[in-house]
Structure 1
Amino acid sequence: MIFGFPLIVLLIYGSALESPFRGNPSLHCTFSRAGGLNDWEQLIHQVSRAAVNVSTGLEPVAPIPVECRDPGAHCAAVWTVRNNETEMLLQGCWDITRDLCSRPYVCSNGSRIFQPLRNGYPTYMCCCQSDNCNNFDSLLFHHRRSNQSYETTNREVLQRRDSRITILIWTSSLLSILIFLLAASRCYRTRRRKQHELPEELQQPFNTGQAVSSWSSQFDDDRSGTPDEESLLENQDPFLASLQLVERIGGGHFADVYRASSSMGDVAVKAYHSDQVVFENEYGNLTLLQSLENPNIIQMIHAVIAKKQLVLQLYSGSLHSLLEECSLDLTEFFDCAIAVNDGLAFLHSHTNAGVPKPVIAHRDLNPYNVLYMRQSSSRIQLYIADFGLSVSFSEGRPETNLELLTERGTVRYMAGELLEGSVNLLDPMTSLLQTDVYSCALVLWELLWRCRDIWPDDEIPSHRIAFDNLVPRNPRLEHMYPVVVRERRRPDIPTPIQKQKTLPNPTGLVELWSCITDMWEQEPEGRTTAACSADRLRRLRRILNPGGVVRDP
């Protein structure tokens, strides 16, 4: 699903690429800036400096012709649309848009969302590379129109369109509703019947002799893998031959997950539906992470690239399912909280055991993407999973396919700057790491809410998901935006901790709550890092749960 902020980030990354257009050293653009853009101070300063003899303040400037300093710059325009009226916000030279302007002579209107919501309205941008191609007329109409204002032309177009479709809408509405109801009914029955079934080709059990044929037959119609993969299949890999898919145990937007038996015991098979980019990204990230051997990251056993399938270690379930099934004591709470923060700190770190490594922003951290396993000592160990949307950075620049930035994670656990599209344009790596910390704070809140040791014996509550009292079960962007961004709401503080805050000498529970709230600060720069939070949790454990320190992983 498309989301606005990744398209903004693309503007930053484009600066590293060599422009395909050899700009005229004296490219001229139209420059203007509207008032009330104080929150764009850095952006306005950059655009102002890109032109010759333009003031770098925030005061409004009427449209004027300017000369660009950088021969490789483009003319750019940013505007908003309010009630079918276009308001120009910023025009000028922009030297960070290289390779993003598909047509050098026309500023394409509305093809890029610059910011999903600004004062309640969408904001758009375009760029081009010919003299004054970003002026108002070229922006809106692609050529000049005489004796017609934009408002008049737009109104006439809408009136003609409405008159043509009104009759069609009324005559076809009843038929459309009937077709929809029939299709929805059929889809519901089909989905309910197949929800827990294996695909038809996987329903028959494997035996050692049939496994190679059955498993390999899935690839006979697609030999798009590398020669090494094809050779592996031809040689009838013993592990693949031993696989026997048993049942579907989960799934999401991009893939389904099956439990399978094998020569190594039970494993999980993650089969992607069709999204090659997301599969390749997760495979690449897991390949890198396996070599670094972190105890808080899931383990990949095998991969069959030709069919977009990953064979993973089988875990007991998701953290969400664990919290639904049982409450936690303080030892279990700290085990889980520290494990999640340690895993996230590892992903965010620049080194591993002193050796440089890429920095990885997870981008979809939530209790469904954290798996658990009970160790032989009955202690719970957590593992961060699902790296399909993750972005890796090397020296601050992304190594990931930029198509992934148009995909978004789980809306309920997204930070405010993602919901409103105000991610820092000048430092996308730091911005995405800060959004991970916000998501981690919501995971810690769900853990704390299910910690029975902080509640009186007769008041232990059932599991709650973040914001469950403020938004629907499956919230959309329009549900989360007003709660998180406008009202700055956060999940409820547990009643026992609220009471502790009123005491003259509160216990360490108040500091534990402060640790969580510092991670979901409204301003990204005010949030603690995952590594800092892990250290605070270890210190608090020595105060609140000294019996668990000895066994602290």
Structure 2
Amino acid sequence: MKTNGHCFAIIEEDEHGEPTLASGCMKYEGSDFQCKDSPKAQLRRTIECCRTDFCNQDLQPTLPPLDSTGRQLYSVRIAADVGVFSTSLSTDGLFDGSIRWMAVLISMAVCIIVMIILFSCFCYKHYCKTMAKRHCYNRDLEQDEAFIPAGESLKDLIDQSQSSGSGSGLPLLVQRTIAKQIQMVRQVGKGRYGEVWMGKWRGEKVAVKVFFTTEEASWFRETEIYQTVLMRHENILGFIAADIKGTGSWTQLYLITDYHENGSLYDFLKCTTLDNRALLKLAYSAACGLCHLHTEIYGTQGKPAIAHRDLKSKNILIKKNGTCCIADLGLAVKFNSDTNEVDVPLNTRVGTKRYMAPEVLDESLNKNHFQPYIMADIYSFGLIIWEMARRCITGGIVEEYQLPYYDMVPNDPSYEDMREVVCVKRLRPVVSNRWNSDECLRAILKLMSECWAHNPASRLTALRIKKTLAKMVESQDVKI
């Protein structure tokens, strides 16, 4: 056939698998496109085209073979004046959509499996480290057991420590062992420094003060003060042990002391009223503790004078026998007359503003001398005596518990609030008229007034307070 377009010959397999041969010519327009055919044809076929006159009679197309996967190949053969060009394509495309999705799913599955394996390896490694630490801890604990024989109580250990002559508390290895063996039972308090827990050691109740890591300076100072030679006193909270637990970013600072279930003086006064004897017992025992702190003991194993700097009803604990013991020595200042040095802790923490003396509030306190710190403690002690006296019943009358200056400043007063009331106006907590009608409260009123005098030099010493209260205790036949 003669035409100005392409001539062709095509062989196609019908639906029964029988080949059919056909030939013909096409117009010029679109003949190139027709010769390319489509790779998506459903039946197996081959088309061959040529451009010369009657050329299709020489074309002999054959069906394309099947590839290794059973897919048919499509052949296009275009013949020119010289030579023939032919190609073969898969009839369902080189990148079938289902195959692509299959590849994506397989890749995702492989990634997930790899992640699971890596995570399992990490967990196993972490578990091995934890078990190694636990084994090491248990081994150390077994070694440390040698320092505390079975059956020894805390009282036995402390008595042995006192009789050994060191007077500075239990040996460090014993402290470390006790700290490891403590079982935390329940939280009993929380403050700006950390938390207080009731714990048990060999069945004995102990108090565990857990400091925040930001309060390391307070922990270090309090531990240092408690381990001062000859520090132990019945009216100072009994120190047992101190330890640091944890590694890396996880650290706990433990201070272990005697446990007093009555809580602080603040808690005690809120729910308990006093008679004259109970009042004198509390006041005298607190004065004894403060006097021991303030007193320097001379000798080869002497004790430096210590000022508390944060005396308040929340820092005094009530023992079972109704006496007081002073706690929280994280801000304490030491003084040794031999060196004439005032040892002030490097601590950003400050005392409680409500209990601060006038000279502390107006910043006139001479920090280079020790005596001003002592006198500031006495001012705070006067406010504590006022808190006690309000809860003493006379003639069936008693005031509800309140903090000092409760009616003059907000619940959380600022320096300016306290300075205005204490320094500028020179006000002091209000005293009930009923106090003057009772001999005991009248003497207490005189005592506290001499404690909170504006001029530090006019205030009583702790020893003077102790002796005055001792006479009152004797006159009331109070058993301490």
Q: TM-score by structure 1 length? A: 0.52
Deviation at 1:527, TM superposition (A): 0.3
In the alignment, what sits opposite 1:326?
Answer: 272
SS in structure 2 of the partner of residue 521 of structure 1: coil
Please give the root-mean-square deviation of Cα atoms over the aligned residues, in Å: 2.9
Distance 2:364 2:194 in 1: 30
Contact kept? 1:277, 1:401, Cα under 8 Å: no
Deviation at 1:305, TM superposition (A): 3.5
Deviation digits for residues 152-185 of structure 1 (CA, Å, limit 9, x no counterpart): xxxxxxxxxxxxxxxxxxxxxxxxxxxxxxxxxx
Alignment match of 2:260 (pick from 315, 318, 322): 315
Alignment of 1:180-259 (within 5 A): 237=177, 239-259=178-198
Contact kept? 1:298, 1:385, Cα under 8 Å: yes
Residues 464/352 of structure 1: CA separation in 2 closer, same or farther (3 Å cut): farther
Deviation digits for residues 77-113 of structure 1 (CA, Å, limit 9, x no counterpart): xxxxxxxxxxxxxxxxxxxxxxxxxxxxxxxxxxxxx
Alignment match of 2:382 (pick from 441, 448, 455): 441
Contact kept? 1:437, 1:528, Cα under 8 Å: yes
Alignment match of 1:480 (pick from 413, 418, 428): 418
Alignment match of 2:216 (pick from 276, 298, 312): 276
Distance 1:399 1:525 in 2: 19
Deviation at 1:297, TM superposition (A): 0.4
Distance 2:174 2:378 in 1: 41
Distance 2:285 2:474 in 1: 16
**1:428 and 2:366 matched:** no
**1:389 and 2:334 matched:** no
Distance 1:259 1:434 in 2: 34
Contact kept? 1:359, 1:394, Cα under 8 Å: yes
In the alignment, what sits opposite 1:183?
Answer: none
Contact kept? 2:228, 2:303, Cα under 8 Å: no
Alignment match of 1:451 (pick from 392, 395, 405): 392
Alignment match of 2:295 (pick from 349, 364, 374): 349
Deviation at 1:510, TM superposition (A): 2.5
In the alignment, what sits opposite 2:466?
Answer: 534
In the alignment, what sits opposite 1:525?
Answer: 457
Computing the radius of gyration over CA atoms, which structure comes out larger, 1 or 2?
Answer: 2
SS in structure 2 of the partner of residue 441 of structure 1: helix
Alignment match of 1:299 (pick from 212, 234, 238): 238
SS in structure 1 of the partner of residue 449 of structure 2: helix
Q: Which runs of 4+ in 1 moved over 3 A?
A: 209-213, 239-242, 352-356, 396-402, 506-509
Distance 1:508 1:409 in 2: 31
Distance 1:497 1:420 in 2: 31
In the alignment, what sits opposite 1:44?
Answer: none
Distance 2:407 2:355 in 1: 14
SS in structure 1 of the partner of residue 319 of structure 2: strand
Distance 1:262 1:312 in 2: 11
Distance 1:343 1:384 in 2: 6
In the alignment, what sits opposite 1:400?
Answer: 343
Distance 2:279 2:299 in 1: 27
Residues 330/352 of structure 1: CA separation in 2 closer, same or farther (3 Å cut): farther
Deviation at 1:255, TM superposition (A): 2.1
Q: TM-score by structure 2 length? A: 0.60
Paired residues, what number? 309
In the alignment, what sits opposite 1:491?
Answer: 429
Alignment of 1:6-405 (within 5 A): 237=177, 239-274=178-213, 275-288=215-228, 291-305=230-244, 307-316=252-261, 317-351=263-297, 356-375=302-321, 380-395=322-337, 397-398=340-341, 400=343, 402-404=345-347
Distance 1:211 1:296 in 2: 39
SS in structure 2 of the partner of residue 428 of structure 1: coil
Distance 2:353 2:136 in 1: 40
Deviation digits for residues 497-530 of structure 1 (CA, Å, limit 9, x no counterpart): 24x4xxxxx8454332111100000000000101
Deviation at 1:428, TM superposition (A): 2.3
Residues 529/394 of structure 1: CA separation in 2 closer, same or farther (3 Å cut): same
Deviation digits for residues 414-456 of structure 1 (CA, Å, limit 9, x no counterpart): 101000100135x52000000000000011110111111xx22
Residues 476/211 of structure 1: CA separation in 2 closer, same or farther (3 Å cut): farther
Deviation at 1:211, TM superposition (A): 13
Distance 2:465 2:400 in 1: 26
Deviation digits for residues 182-223 of structure 1 (CA, Å, limit 9, x no counterpart): xxxxxxxxxxxxxxxxxxxxxxxxxxx99966x99xxxxxxx
Distance 1:400 1:524 in 2: 21
Contact kept? 1:281, 1:387, Cα under 8 Å: yes
SS in structure 2 of the partner of residue 315 of structure 1: coil
- Matched-pair identity in %: 26
Contact kept? 1:466, 1:491, Cα under 8 Å: yes
Contact kept? 1:397, 1:429, Cα under 8 Å: no
